[in-house]
Structure 1
């Protein structure tokens, strides 16, 4: 960023940034919010500045990025579909409070009230992009109780859980859990309206309000075959609480997973950081152990990875 001050509307500003630098700013966490504010202050800027989030049909960052914060809509300048950064505390508040029930209650309330038609909100991508990572883990024979236990953790209003229910040839009980009762109610109403049918007539689908740091309140130890986490851990790691809550969730997952059961984390975090964290926190001598691996999902609004954590029996 140079120190010349140029007054431009959003489109010319975007063109100037792409020709001179790379693009308008994309902000993914609180540190980047503070870095931007400090940079502007040190250069003596007093006026508003453009960031790269805009809407033509759906909201997106101008450089193609996606992740925490891209779903935020309460920018000050929505009248012309060009969010500015006049009040950076709006964005900072969202990032720091994505682990709070009230944040998501407000998000789903505002999202549902803005349209008469239900629309799934998908963090990163939908089921089709990752079905080849999920469905092979549901090929083993069911347990004596007859159902493979699947948890969609932090489901929101994603179609992921219902799609597993619809496509699994083996009988499954898919539990879609979220901290927001608003999201749970919206999904229950949607499924009842659509009358979604399972591939296997013995399969079951349920939606429950559940704090993922308290999985033991819903599940007994070693009772779940597969846990799918599409962005939930990412949100926790970027919140004010950061790794404390994420660590709690990981330990709860390993506690309720059966031996050889798997946790799939879909994330845009680089393997150098996520693998180290998982390999460290998923081991506790005499208590729990797990194998950790990673695969590239591909370029889905930016590079995305599938981290697989497989529980091992303690000898």
Structure 2
């Protein structure tokens, strides 16, 4: 069976950037995009913070540009999903959703992470119309407007603090009578005049007419409901890394993010490299994901050279 020099699992900024660098290094990369080609950017409308797009760009268009650039250098892009992996030998084995097996000398993981949602029907209805899971990505669009953030951990505290520099009032909905965030982040939230914390409070519904105009909330102790006018609704209850198929094979943290060696993309398995949001729970930006995709391709190239494959 033919052994590929480099297989990339997943797409998005990390995967496509890895493909561009790998292809230019004569690694003949083969990409399997999975169920969501382009990753989280495919559900993002206006992207204004990625260099090279002075007028901004729609997320799906941006990923289309990345894909075209990768294919220009003859990356083989497949839309299958990798359902299983075997990293026990020098040659790595991947099993696709159609039952096909693929062998590879090196594997770059770029499977990303998925935002956790509340499960409200109105979340989908107003996605990119006022509902977001990334304040750093979308907060600028709500400058000068009232917004809400849902969550009680560090992510929510960071999102609320970021938005407080742009918005006159940030309503932080915490479903318990205390936050899970670190002490320093809690102090930052509680000391901000722009952040109003609603304790023991959950969102019942997001209200709007084409775009978000408000939210209905409920106090889960008194069961009292109320409506608050807002323009933006940010869900900050965490992300789930898409790394399930690598469990018990690769070293991960307690949340499932793949651990890499130092500043590299090397995993605990030789020839397997991790990039993007699958290993980054701190920054989670398109530009940082692209950077790690570049690093993964360079690390994989050095590995293949050391093995005499390149």
Q: TM-score range by the shorter chain?
A: 0.3 to 0.5
Determine which structure has the larger helix proportion and give its number.
1
Determine which structure has the larger strand proportion and give its number.
2
**TM-score of the pair, normalised by structure 1:** 0.32
The higher relative CO (CA closer than 8 Å, separation ≥ 6) is in 2
